[in-house]
A and B are shown apart, each in its own frame.
Chain A
Amino acid sequence: MASKYIALPNGVSEKIFDTAVKEFRGVLGEANVLVSAEQLAPYTKTMMPVSETNHTPSAAIMATTVEQIQKIVAICNKYKVPIWTISTGKNLGYGSAAPAERGQVVLDLHRMNRILEVDSDLCYALVEPGVTYRQLYDYFQEHQLPLWLSLPAPSAIAGPTGNTLDRGVGYTPYGEHFMNACGMEVVLANGEVLRTGMGSLPKSNTWQAFKWGYGPYLDGIFTQSNYGIVTKFGFWLQPAPPVYKPFMIQYQDEDDVVEIVEIMRPMRLNGVIPNSGVIAHALYEAGVKAKRSDYVSGPGSISDEAVRKLVRDHHMGIWNVTAALYGTQEQVDVNWKIVTEAFGKSGKATFITEQEAGDDPQFGYRAVLMRGGMDMREFNLYNWRGGGGSLWFAPVSQARGSETLKQMRLAKGILAKYGLDYTGEFIVGMRDMHHIIDMLYDRTDPAMTKAAYQCFDELISTFSAEGYGSYRTNTAFMDKVAHTYGPVQRHVHKMLKKALDPNGILAPGKSGIR
């Protein structure tokens, strides 16, 4: 007899699962427990080069309160049913809303979405997991609060809790999001509710003001992990500056990344450039202005010659540096002078400010993101090649010119072997760079999909052999990346898992932890 479920959790019989589903319904109501194929379709779509059957959930359940979540973990412990928690569920290119393993129940917290507190004196917010950046942005507008968000490019549809829990990045001075996280509430697998840091102290009003609390700092173990379910999340906001000056600097040779990084690092370290700006390769920005088919016919990766034609046709750089200045007019003027003098020395740089850019969409979307606004034009990435396949390869690099060039060449060579383009950028930290490559492939083409899988696998192997680790990865490659960090870290992760979640009900497989 055909099962009434499209998938079942590993090792759980249909009969046991029936009971668990019945109990979920008892807690959440009929309408908040989804099991049909039609209802689960949006939890199954991914952009990864693996079969969707590997990541098909057995059910999706929607909770809105801490008490409901406590009851759910009790049911999961009783029947050994694993749950995969998502907040806003837009982890696109990293596995989207689908679970790590077939048959896991998705615990979808999008409807748990109250903005609990916004303090415009201390500039912080406390939110529930389902709150989107859009909701916060609108809240600030509506209440005329001079506060800015830092957000990832999917802005309107993603949210601070999920993004920060996966240690995501944005483009403002607050762009390293976990650095600006302050205080969490976490439901543990045994149903206990932990408030981290100062939140554990009854009556404390510094939960969102001081990160560390007393004793071992715990917040970190709830990021990229499966040790708890975060139900409240505090984070810091940037006071809106009086003057905002976004700018772009273009260079026309791949080797120029060395000069760019060497000039930029000291200015990031001393705060002249305060935000996590971006050094984007032309191919990362190309989709905003052109289609790949205008420059390439036939198989294989795009040639350097075609890229040079592309940048000439569309007023782009081979490297496009975008960053911004924030402050009073005097501060911005002084810093702009420092920036232009530093980048101006070699004579290779072209400076573009809002005046020169006009309505240029490449400048435009970057300028909105660097002030925490709503803009999704970066999704033009997917118009470059088409076909909807995307995997983020995200190795960390030192903020050292020679290193960035080495990583770029290494990645480009491996991608070319598989006929794929180097669609890369560096997000500029103080001492590090997030080297972000959107591995674009046509998911409707089985041969290219297979090549994409192999290419990603080789990227991880080759980079880790050189000592370059990924900062984050998609749900199909979590074990592989965990392996690159060596057995001792894996063992410690496992011991923590055993202690905090002995039945292994929370997101088994996340970051390779079971």
Chain B
Amino acid sequence: MKATWMACVGFMSALSVMASHTGVLGADQQEVPQTGFTWKDGAEVYTKICALCHETSVGPILRGRELDPLYIRLIVRNGSRAMPAFRASEIDDHSLEQLSEYVSKSAGAK
């Protein structure tokens, strides 16, 4: 038991060291050009943002309704009543396009 736990701790520390070297640390304050987070595709945006309300009865179900992609994009950028608006800094134009296609074409949950 103990050995496993120790091995596990060793692994974690290594990870944190690795992580620290990927970042901008140290006293020189130089920013190393390195990209931040970007979305993989529309499905990822849907799962990680939209689904938290639109699959939990907070907001209406969107999938399986063949909603107009343009309408989706408009609502995402402008919000609607209590639904927050999402900026291009959060969901970039390209990802929003993918998201609206994804939602529009996806089948509804049975």
Query: Which residues in A have some Cβ–Cβ distance to B below 8 Å?
Result: 34, 38-39, 41-43, 45, 47, 60, 62, 64-67, 88-90, 92, 96-97, 108, 110-121, 126, 128, 130-131, 134-135, 138, 143, 145-146, 155-157, 193, 202-204, 361, 374-377, 379-380, 382-383, 386-388, 390, 443-444
Contacts and interface: CB of A to CB of B under 8 A. Distances in A.
A121 B16 contact: yes
A393 B31 CA distance: 40
Contact of B81 (A60, A115, A382): A382
A202 B27 contact: yes
Contacts of B84: 45, 90, 92, 96, 157
Interface string B79-95: 11111111111100000
A339 B36 CA distance: 45
A376 B54 CA distance: 10
Contact of B36 (A39, A67, A130, A387): A130
Contacts of A135: 37
Contacts of A379: 53, 58-59, 82
A383 B60 CA distance: 11
A379 B50 CA distance: 12
Contacts of B110: none
Interface stretch (B17-25, B64-72, B97-105): B17-25
Secondary structure call for the B interface: loop
B31 A67 contact: yes
Query: Which bracket fits the contact residues of B?
Result: 35 or more
A86 to B, nearest CB: 9
A120 B13 contact: yes
Contacts of B85: 41-42, 45, 96-97
A117 B52 contact: no
Contacts of B12: 120-121, 145-146
9 contacts: A89-B90, A117-B20, A120-B12, A134-B49, A203-B27, A375-B52, A376-B58, A382-B81, A388-B83
B18 to A, nearest CB: 9
A45 B78 CA distance: 7
A377 B89 CA distance: 24
Contact of B56 (A120, A376, A444): A376
Contacts of A126: 23, 25
